[in-house]
Amino acid sequence: MGAAQGGGPPGGGPHADNVRRLRALSDLITPYAVRVAATLRLADLIEAGARRPDELGARCGADPAALERLLRHLAAKGVFAQPEPGEFALTELSRLLLTGREDDGLRPWLDMDGGLGRSDMALSGMLQVVRTGRPAYEDMFGRTFWADLEADPERGRAFDALMSAQVSLVADEVTTAYDWSDVRNVVDVGGGAGTLLAALLAKHPGLRGTLVDLPSVVETGRRELAAAGLADRCAFAPGSFFSPLPADGDVLVLSRVLHDWDDDSARAILRRCAEAARAAGPAARVLVIEQLVADQGNSPMTTAMDLRMLSVIGGQERSLDEYRLLAADAGLSLRDTIATESGRSILEFTG
């Protein structure tokens, strides 16, 4: 590999700007280096006073020479600072990797020992994913993403916590964007630790709720809702959304559930929701909360999430028409679409 080009193609000529841009877009070194720093908690260690590679290596179980090379690159990129030879310090970027930042901390999202950070490794199998249309996670780790979380309870809890944090960012707008005035009981299907359900119950005192998710997740939700003083208005239904669902809800909510699944599985989930809605009465409806893709002009965040879903779990982001067709197969009709400020849409279906 040529030193002048850093092992890559030349950057000169009439297309130099585009060459540099494409090289930056295709770089893998820095994204992996940042994830290694997050996993080793280097920002925490530097904040605690360890600044030299030998000190850091002793505390995080890493080779000091290799660690210095990692930090040297990240300092060149501005993630860390190098005030003296062989000594490293935090920057505003690396402070985002400190543990415990509630609003903007990125370390748990990048930790390769955690649920999401580990799933990033499946992206290295994207060529095979595109060739076969199958997710790479199982081939890489020997079991599906969901089975992997179940096999490692600590990783599963960390993943659930990240999902709850993500839901909390949009829960407030869901509680206000949709008209809940005539809803008596809402069933949150695949509702995780109950973050969205808690926001709904807190915002609408006359509302009751039912949380549906796997048993271990529902137990977390039971504790969270009790801590919020809402357990007396909430029922808990441990189980799978591929099985019959509680049939006493005016509204069944699927928030960021369907994008986790392929079309056949999504249809099966919608059929269970349709069955429960029909049993609840003619006014019952199903709300699907998802980020929609368009034929063109999508944001890079949307298309990146779509590729992540494909590579890790075989799910996908879908268009409005695709959700309409899936719901129609389950006997549901689209009645309304509500766009929210976060970019997600609330799709209201009736039976």
Catalytically active residues, by annotation: 259
The SS3 call for residue 252 is strand
Please give the helix or strand (H or E) that residue 89 lies within, else none: strand 87-90
* Cα 77 from Cα 74, distance rounded (Å): 5
Helices (H), the chain: 16-26, 29-39, 42-47, 53-60, 64-76, 107-110, 115-120, 126-132, 137-141, 145-151, 153-177, 195-203, 215-227, 263-280, 300-312, 320-329
Q: What are phi and psi of 212, to 5 degrees?
A: -115, 120
Residue 323 CB: number of other CB atoms within 10 A? 23
* Cα 291 from Cα 302, distance rounded (Å): 7
Cβ–Cβ < 8 Å for 54, 87: no
* Cα 188 from Cα 195, distance rounded (Å): 10
Would you tell me the crossing angle of helices 153-177 and 195-203 to the nearest 10 degrees? 30
Residue type, 201: L
